[in-house]
Amino acid sequence: MSHTHERPLFSEFGGSSDKNVPWYTRDVDDSKISKPARELLQTYSGIPADEILPHVLAMRDRAWSIHPYPCIGRLRFLDLSIIQHPLFQTLIPRLQSSQTLLDLGCCFGQDIRALVAAGAPAQNLYGADLRPEYTQLGYDLFKDRDRLQATFFSANIFADQEGTDADPDDDGKTENGFAPLRGKLDIIHAASFFHLFSLNEQRALARRLIALLRPLPGSLVIGRQAGNVVAGEMPSRSDPSKTTFRHNGDSWWDMWDAVGRETGTEWRTEVGLKEVEGWSSGMGTEEGRGEGDRMMVFAVHRL
């Protein structure tokens, strides 16, 4: 077992919680809460209709003060993005027949709740996030702390996978929450996740996901993220010394082809780029972003 303290590879450091930024939506009324999110909060969480908006906004601000992600500021967690994924309907029978799913970078865990409400057995679901506070906020948002059977854990996907976590503050002996899942997952959902990192970091990430998935045809990675018609590195919003890579269909395929060759595995990729409000210029045109930005929906199938 290794006890080295490798530097985590993730490229987001801090970031201001100032709300005066384009990716924090200030004027929010009931219409901003999607029908599926409203139904989930009413029927699954039991929150009265007139309490949903203030409840959601209070939870958003608690999450924003932990880290100001655009998906939090723009209330994109209310999209329940997994239910919009073209393969969503295929996930439920797979999970009902004992397959397992990890929601990587799950934040509030909203997509785990959407799967449970759609009939997925919660005991087959795992949610992982760097920040344990988000897991606790998820229980508060969905009011299910005492009943949800899904497993949540906090861990850094880039940490040493052999068993120890690479948190520089720990003593090197904390078990990495991902270690027990190695080779045991059937599906990994990674929404608004790959796009946080540079291309080199994303390649390392893809290799980590390959190791977590069952080494069988049909193992699957799905999600959505910010993409661009012209693939390339962009300056990181929160750390100007870093970059984050925006993919198009070709660069996404190239990346999975490269990590496939490195790991002796083969993958088929599917990508859709869509022009969607909130995934383009509003992200911060003052930083030179905007043109060509798209929402990218993807699936990666092990052959």
CB of 79 to ligand SAM, least distance (A): 8
Structural tokens at position 222: 């799905």
Contact 138, 152 (CB under 8 A): yes
- Which is closer to ligand SAM, CB of 238 or CB of 268? 238
- Which is closer to ligand SAM, CB of 81 or CB of 266? 81
Instruction: Tell me which stretch binds ligand SAM (CB under 6 A): 51-59, 70-78, 136-144, 254-262.
Output: 70-78
- Which is closer to ligand SAM, CB of 106 or CB of 250? 106
CB of 271 to ligand SAM, least distance (A): 17
Mention every residue, 6+ apart, whose C-beta is less than 8 A from residue 40. Answer: 80, 110, 113, 114, 117, 142
Contact 244, 11 (CB under 8 A): yes
User: What CA–CA distance (Å, rounded) separates 260 from 254?
Assistant: 10
* Site for ligand SAM contains 105 (CB under 6 A): yes
Contact 118, 98 (CB under 8 A): no
DSSP 33: S
* Site for ligand SAM contains 148 (CB under 6 A): no
Would you mind telling me the total number of residues written for the chain in this entry? Answer: 303
Instruction: Tell me which stretch binds ligand SAM (CB under 6 A): 75-83, 245-253, 273-281, 290-298.
Output: 75-83
User: What CA–CA distance (Å, rounded) separates 70 from 32?
Assistant: 15
Contact 229, 248 (CB under 8 A): yes
The residue assigned the tokens 């029927």 is 43
* Site for ligand SAM contains 134 (CB under 6 A): yes
Instruction: Tell me which stretch binds ligand SAM (CB under 6 A): 135-143, 156-164, 228-236, 265-273.
Output: 156-164
* Site for ligand SAM contains 62 (CB under 6 A): no
User: What CA–CA distance (Å, rounded) separates 40 from 45?
Assistant: 7
| Among 56, 59, 107, 185, interactor with ligand SAM by CB under 6 A | 107
CB of 8 to ligand SAM, least distance (A): 6
- Interface residues with ligand SAM (CB under 6 A) are 10, 69, 71, 76-77, 81, 105-107, 128-131, 134, 156-158, 191-193, 196
